[in-house]
Amino acid sequence: MQIRKGEKKDAAAIAEHLLLAMEDIVYLFIGEENYDEAYRFISTLVEHEGNQYSYNNNWVVEEDGQVVATALLYDGAHLEQLRTPVANLLREAYDLDFNPEAETQAGEYYIDCIGVNPNQQGKGIGTKILHFLIDEYVEKQGITLGLLVDEINPNAKKLYERIGFEVVGEKTLLGKRLEHMQKIPTNLK
C-alpha cells in the first residue's frame, strides 16, 4: 500500500471516493438526490485545480495499482478562494447559490473527508491515512490538522481522540452542529 498526492489521472477514482464520504452533502449542494448528477458535479471539480475538491488537494491510497481511498485536505486559510469555483459551478450549472458556513479557518489544514472503497473498509486504511497525515503535516511541518465530527458518530470521535485529536470547539455546517477537533503540534500547545 502506498499513500501519495493525487494526480489528474486519479480524478475519476478520487471523485468516486469523495462521493462515498459525502454523498448526502453533494445532494444538498446540487439540490437533488441524483447519484449520476452528483458524480458529474464532484468529478468536474476534482479534475480541475484551484478548488477545494481538486485532485491536488487529495492524498490517495494505492494498492496493486488501484486507488482504494482518498483523503481531502487543504489549507483552511484558503477556504474562501477554494470555494469560489464550487459556487460558480453551482450557479452556472444548477442555478443555485452556495454559501455554507466556514468549516475551517486560517491556522489549520482541514481534513474535509476520507473516502475508502467499500471493499477495503474494515482494514484500517482510514486510520493509516490519518497517521500518515499526522506524520506529514503535524510532525514534519509543525502544522495543525483540523476536522469536524458529528455527535452521531461516536466511533469516529473515539478514533480521532485515540490518535491525538482534541475537541477545540463547535462549528455549524449546512445547519448541523459539529465538534471541531484539532491535532496540534506539541511545540504549539
- What does the pLDDT read at residue 153? 85
180: which 3 cell numbers? 471541531
Confidence of residue 98 (pLDDT cuts 50, 70, 90): confident
**115 confidence band (pLDDT: 50, 70, 90):** very high
Q: What does the mean pLDDT of the chain come to?
A: 94
Residue 3 has pLDDT above 80, yes or no: yes
The candidate with the shortest Cα–Cα distance to 24, out of 16, 15, 35, is: 35
Q: How far apart are CA 17 and CA 115, in angstroms?
A: 5
pLDDT above 70 (res 189) = no
Residue 188, pLDDT > 80, answer no
Please compute the mean of the pLDDT values over residues 153-180 and round it to a whole number.
91
pLDDT at 154: 86
- pLDDT tens digits for range 7-65: 999 999 999 999 999 988 899 899 999 999 999 999 999 999 999 999 999 999 999 99
What's the pLDDT at 76?
97
